[in-house]
Chains A and B, each alone.
Chain A
């Protein structure tokens, strides 16, 4: 399940006259964590929406395992790629376990009950997100970080090789932000999932990803390992502001002040 190859070819997309994506092409490295970065309205969320079948590109294609995703049925796609959105809603009285169990829908029919395999996936998803103890808690009683982990667990229960996350840390306190990002790294390390996330925070993108794709005005300006492609000039090109980029033996960071 780790060798799902996703490649994007010559994508273009416009909202009316506003060209949001313009000739975007790249291949995801299987088993790596890729961060999509760039200023507001650079096209990163649109790109994610196209890669997850939520938007149709005007031109170009997204290929998953050799097939154009527009040819893959929604349900089959959901068995191969899972998505965690930025904004999530769930009824307050829904229990965490029931929410996580929704992740099995792509694999089951409404008529058949849950199989052993389903139970296994649900239990594993809750264990790797550290919410096993919360299984019977209603969603309304969770903290922001716990909620986000529950939605990640739902995506993990889909048992896919590919995981997309749209700004998974935006609405969280810094403590939960770091928790979620560490969790994402763990999932990548332990289960070899290929992960693509949109990140707003430059430092989080640099610290938690193997690859970054930097977009500006719908075009890719930077693609590669953060150390190789990100410097002060690139930050200026992507975000339109000069920021100091520093690094030591283990990590690199920008000073956003």
Chain B
């Protein structure tokens, strides 16, 4: 009888994914039709699928990429947080908080400021920056083990250093509009979508393949070794995927804090701790939340815009504090 209960909970998790996917689609359609050029559903559908409409075409060129990038980078960041939390056994891990995004943003801003020709390779350089930051943070935090709070504290310091360095690069490069860290989601084009699409696929595929292995990381490392799995190699692989995901998102949309922290926690509360369900659910939830933050930020004080990162910070800070209090750290 109880066997049915576990099957039921797996089915409930799968259903939650489907419902969330539907919600993502609805939100995306709403985001596409809302804004300074407001379209009705009818106009949107006609313009897209039936005949050419100048307003729909403008929206298609400007708003669609933005929506898609919000969805993609939300999914990517969220998965990155999920993987990091598993790899570091740390509920507070977030690529923004522990400094990976800072390293990635710095590397991306160097490329954008000094080697604009390498624009399409920016995520690759961001990955190098993010990975370097991760290695530094990891080795500085290691003291016979990884203390969750220690890694956050080191991360805060590393983030601050990278934010400063990025600021210096921003100050040195004459074109002010290109600074990656503040560009957020506005003025994104279809080429950004393609770029992020490629890099997020490279990161998301391992994230999904590693899901069963991530479950193992919840055991003690020695127990994992006892099962014939090299825990250190597994952790390195999972961390590498997490850094790649966080870096490619950061290269395109800049540092978005807290998203990667919050969504895995909410996902765990909804679908439980099994990464095979957690990974798709976290990806969908990240896509949903970042697009929601961007759309709210775009509409709430129209014609002024709040960046999604600002919205996430305002909402995410209190969540982070609540988490700290709950975990008694």
- On whether A94 and B273 interact (CB within 8 A), knowing A54-B225, A89-B220, A136-B2, the answer reads yes
For residue A95, which residues in chain B have a CB less than 8 angstroms away from its CB?
Answer: 6
For residue B230, which residues in chain A have a CB less than 8 angstroms away from its CB?
Answer: 74
Choose the segment among A76-84, A189-197, A211-219 that binds chain B (4+ C-beta atoms closer than 8 Å): A76-84
Interface residues of A (CB under 8 A from B): 52-54, 73-79, 82-83, 85, 87-95, 102-103, 105-106, 110, 135-137, 151, 155, 158
Choose the segment among B47-55, B210-218, B253-261 that binds chain A (4+ C-beta atoms closer than 8 Å): B210-218
Instruction: Assess whether A106 is in contact with B228, with CB atoms less than 8 Å apart.
Output: yes
Instruction: Assess whether B226 is in contact with A88, with CB atoms less than 8 Å apart.
Output: no
Q: Given the complex of chains A and B, what is the CA–CA distance between A90 and B229 in angstroms?
A: 16
The chain A residue with its CB closest to the CB of B227 is: A105
For residue B6, which residues in chain A have a CB less than 8 angstroms away from its CB?
Answer: 95, 136
Please tell me if B272 contacts chain A, counting CB pairs below 8 Å. Answer: yes
Instruction: Assess whether B218 is in contact with A74, with CB atoms less than 8 Å apart.
Output: no
Please tell me if B3 contacts chain A, counting CB pairs below 8 Å. Answer: yes
Instruction: Assess whether A78 is in contact with B222, with CB atoms less than 8 Å apart.
Output: no
Q: A52-B226, A93-B272, A110-B213 are in contact. List 17 more A-B contacts (CB 8 A).
A: A53-B225, A74-B230, A75-B228, A78-B228, A85-B223, A88-B219, A89-B220, A89-B223, A94-B218, A95-B6, A103-B227, A105-B227, A105-B228, A105-B229, A136-B3, A137-B2, A158-B227
A-B complex: 4 closest residue pairs judged by Cβ atoms: A78-B228, A75-B228, A136-B2, A106-B228
Q: Given the complex of chains A and B, what is the CA–CA distance between A191 and B228 in angstroms?
A: 22
Interface residues of B in 61-89 (CB under 8 A from A): none
For residue A76, which residues in chain B have a CB less than 8 angstroms away from its CB?
Answer: 228
The chain A residue with its CB closest to the CB of B272 is: A93
Q: How many inter-chain residue pairs (CB < 8 Å) link A and B?
A: 67
Interface residues of B (CB under 8 A from A): 2-3, 5-6, 212-213, 215-216, 218-220, 222-223, 225-230, 272-274
The chain A residue with its CB closest to the CB of B231 is: A74
Q: Given the complex of chains A and B, what is the CA–CA distance between A76 and B229 in angstroms?
A: 10
Q: Given the complex of chains A and B, what is the CA–CA distance between A136 and B216 in angstroms?
A: 18
For residue B218, which residues in chain A have a CB less than 8 angstroms away from its CB?
Answer: 89-91, 94
For residue A85, which residues in chain B have a CB less than 8 angstroms away from its CB?
Answer: 220, 222-223, 226
The chain A residue with its CB closest to the CB of B218 is: A91
Q: Given the complex of chains A and B, what is the CA–CA distance between A82 and B225 in angstroms?
A: 10
Q: Given the complex of chains A and B, what is the CA–CA distance between A90 and B228 in angstroms?
A: 17
For residue B272, which residues in chain A have a CB less than 8 angstroms away from its CB?
Answer: 93
Instruction: Assess whether B229 is in contact with A74, with CB atoms less than 8 Å apart.
Output: yes
- On whether A74 and B222 interact (CB within 8 A), knowing A110-B213, A136-B5, the answer reads no
For residue B222, which residues in chain A have a CB less than 8 angstroms away from its CB?
Answer: 54, 83, 85
Instruction: Assess whether B228 is in contact with A79, with CB atoms less than 8 Å apart.
Output: yes
Instruction: Assess whether B219 is in contact with A102, with CB atoms less than 8 Å apart.
Output: yes
The chain B residue with its CB closest to the CB of A133 is: B2
- On whether A155 and B219 interact (CB within 8 A), knowing A135-B2, A136-B2, A136-B3, the answer reads no
For residue A87, which residues in chain B have a CB less than 8 angstroms away from its CB?
Answer: 220
- 21 A–B contact pairs at CB < 8 A? A52-B226, A53-B225, A54-B222, A74-B225, A74-B228, A75-B229, A78-B228, A85-B222, A89-B218, A91-B273, A93-B272, A93-B273, A94-B273, A94-B274, A102-B227, A105-B216, A105-B227, A105-B228, A106-B228, A136-B6, A151-B223
